[in-house]
Chains A and B, each alone.
Chain A
Amino acid sequence: MRKILSMAVAIAAGLALAGGAPAQAAEKLKAAWVYVGPVGDFGWSYQHDQGRKAVEAHFGDKVETTFVENVDEGPDAERVIEQLARAGNKLIFTTSFGFMEPTLKVAKRHPNVFFEHATGFKRAKNVSTYNAKFHEGRYVLGQIAAKTSKTGTIGYIASFPIPEVIAGINSLMLGAQSINPDMKIKIVWVNSWFDPAKEADAAKALIDQGADVISQHTDSPAAMQAAEGRDVMAFGQASDMIKFGPDSQLTAIVDDWAPYYIERVQAVLDGTWTSTDTWGGMKDGEVVMAPYTNMPDDVKKMAETTQAAITSGALNPFKGPIYKQDGTLMVKEGEVLADKDILSMNWYVKGIDDKVPGQ
């Protein structure tokens, strides 16, 4: 009995050795994604997951991907990221601002794992950061809004008063002013990235107060749906929301992370990955405009021209002269606002009759 047992063990060990070596040679690269919301939000996290799926489709058997959704931006995040690192993932994308510190902490303990943190500004030897210049798209939205609005008032549903959101409002307003200097904007902060019912309430409140073009910096299609129900125009956010506003969507800013994700996975496979800071825009294919719909041909043409100009670099939304609300000159004629100033923006441009919350 004992003999048979030891023989069995020996055979098993032999098999493991024989089978182990080739299996290791063909080992897949394991990559993981951490999302702040549900993949079913049809917004921010959904688009990141579309990027992950594009990686799977592009690399096939060479890459194995996993994701964790609904991760709170707190101590929980560190535990989740740590687990993913221990599970053998070699490349981990953490896709929300609040994952910055947890990502850095875990990265320190796992020097052989590469980390990619979206929308943050702190890097390390094995931590890159990446983001997209969504404000480029908002400049186009502003121009379209100024051309299509009858009441001259844009309604803006904002999430949190952080630089990215404020830069978006400013860029939209600068675009609108380039067509009609008297355009007005009403801003409602819902203090949430994702709360469909509240986003719908905010859209209705803005429409009741006379806004007839709705723009949003929140993640659900509720505002688009509300606009469709009240026969006013709106812009989609993060995803193409045309299904929710077939007669209302003018266009949408679509986050396309696929090119970046494929590039970074390729870098790890090639062994060329280094810590970088990427802020891609229209020219990198990260900020994509959904088809221009529900507008006259001349407006569509204008939007396409502006988009082409931003893509080629001929036009920068934050090109001077730009004045702050109180009339202070912030960007001189012929100059453009530096990236670091956009990333720390906490002031409104002239023409916005409101205050940045908390100031």
Chain B
Amino acid sequence: MLDAAIIGAVLASIVAAATTLLLASLGELVAERAGTLNLGVEGMMIVGAAVGYVTAYGSGSLLLGTLAAVLAGMALSLVFAVLAIWLATNQVASGLATTILGLGLAGLIGASFVGTQLEGAPPLHIAGLTDLPILGKALFGQDAFVYVSLLLLAAVAYTLTRTRIGLVLRAVGENHAAAHALGHPVRGIRTLAVMFGGACAGLAGAHLSLAYTPFWAADMTAGRGWIALALVVFSAWRPLWLLAGAYLFGAVSILQLHVQGFGLGIPSQLLSALPYLATIIALVVISALKHGRGAPASLGVPFVPDR
């Protein structure tokens, strides 16, 4: 039963499933490293999915659709940024409001597109490489979103740890008063970080509505924005752990479907809970190992400069 073809197909599905989560959580990681907790990921994702689909459907161009999704995610994140950063409102409440607003807006935008579909983003095909057994499809047979997500991850990991911009961003997240005293525009930097988060969430939404299941249906993100938020905590705010977390979550959620298909008689409720259980267990293990390296110290605290 477990031949190379099935293993190859499973690996390819895992990579695809992990990509949506990786994209959405990567943006949130940057926002949080700068000190802002944005619970609006789900809302920004669904707006990205809706705007991306509608634009691609109208223009016939997946690239335009993707760009529109990114801009839509950014626009909604800007609403959040104005509230939470510039008006110093409660970040949790503003984030939740952003999600609710996003879900409603997306339903409205997509309403007249229910029941239509698109030709989704084509998978890569390199003769020879894609046809390799087992790893061929997983590595060389994915759509562009997968490769973009990995490039983005590399760029974020590099920028955060190896560049001056990354250093300033982390300083703002760790101690905003000190960063302010050094003359860094705390609220401006946080706004840009939140907007990067919005762009990534919009891109994740586009991955769903333009590649994964290329149609529009209200609420099609089905809670993935919340999983992305959990993954950021899981990763202890480090990009490489985020990669591991997203792929672990993707792996468990795909594997449980295959286990069911083989009819091994394991209760499906337990299998459905497995991705979450695995995340919690990994979370405990990581926090036991990480020696006090936790959340950015100023995370969730609004910054109001002295007058």
Contact = CB atoms under 8 A, between A and B. Distances in A.
A211 B260 CA distance: 13
Contact of A40 (B114, B260, B262, B268): B114
Q: Which 3 A-B residue pairings sit nearest by Cβ, starting from the closest?
A: A38-B218, A40-B218, A189-B268
B267 A357 contact: yes
Given A201-B257, A204-B9, A225 B115 contact: no
21 contacts: A38-B217, A40-B107, A186-B261, A188-B268, A189-B260, A189-B272, A196-B222, A197-B212, A197-B224, A201-B13, A201-B254, A205-B10, A205-B13, A208-B13, A221-B117, A225-B117, A225-B213, A243-B117, A355-B263, A355-B265, A358-B269
Contacts of B218: 37-41
A280 interface: no
Given A221-B215, A225-B117, A192 B222 contact: yes
A243 B115 CA distance: 8
User: Which of A46, A187, A208 has the most chain B CB atoms inside 10 A of its CB?
Assistant: A208
Contacts of A243: 115-117
B6 interface: yes
A209 B217 contact: no
Given A201-B253, A201-B254, A205-B261, 14 more contacts: A40-B110, A42-B114, A161-B268, A191-B269, A194-B222, A196-B212, A198-B222, A198-B253, A199-B213, A201-B13, A208-B10, A209-B262, A225-B213, A358-B267
A194 B222 CA distance: 8
B187 to A, nearest CB: 35
A70 B103 CA distance: 11
A357 B256 CA distance: 14
Contacts of B269: 189, 191, 357-358
A81 to B, nearest CB: 21
B82 interface: no
Given A201-B254, A208-B258, A37 B222 contact: no
B267 A195 contact: no
Contacts of A40: 107, 110-111, 114, 216-219
Nearest to A239: B115
Interface in B249-300: 253-254, 257-258, 260-263, 265, 267-269, 272
Contacts of B215: 196, 221-222, 225, 244
B17 interface: yes
A200 B258 CA distance: 13
Interface string B2-28: 000110011001000100100000000
B268 A196 contact: no
Contact of B6 (A194, A208, A239): A208
B12 to A, nearest CB: 9
A355 to B, nearest CB: 4
A289 interface: no
Contacts of A39: 218
Interface in B1-56: 1, 5-6, 9-10, 13, 17, 20
A126 B223 CA distance: 37
B13 A196 contact: no
A339 to B, nearest CB: 27
Contacts of A297: none
A353 interface: yes
B258 A209 contact: yes
Interface string A31-57: 000000111111000100000000000
Nearest to B7: A208
Contacts of A189: 260, 268-269, 272
Contacts of A208: 5-6, 9-10, 13, 258
Contacts of B220: 196-197, 220
A209 B272 contact: no
Given A192-B222, A357-B269, A220 B213 contact: yes
A236 B193 CA distance: 43
Nearest to A200: B213
A41 to B, nearest CB: 6
A275 B13 CA distance: 50
A196 B213 contact: yes
Contacts of A186: 261-263
B14 to A, nearest CB: 10
A183 B260 CA distance: 18
Contacts of B141: none
Contacts of A341: none
A225 B254 CA distance: 18
B224 A41 contact: no
B214 interface: yes
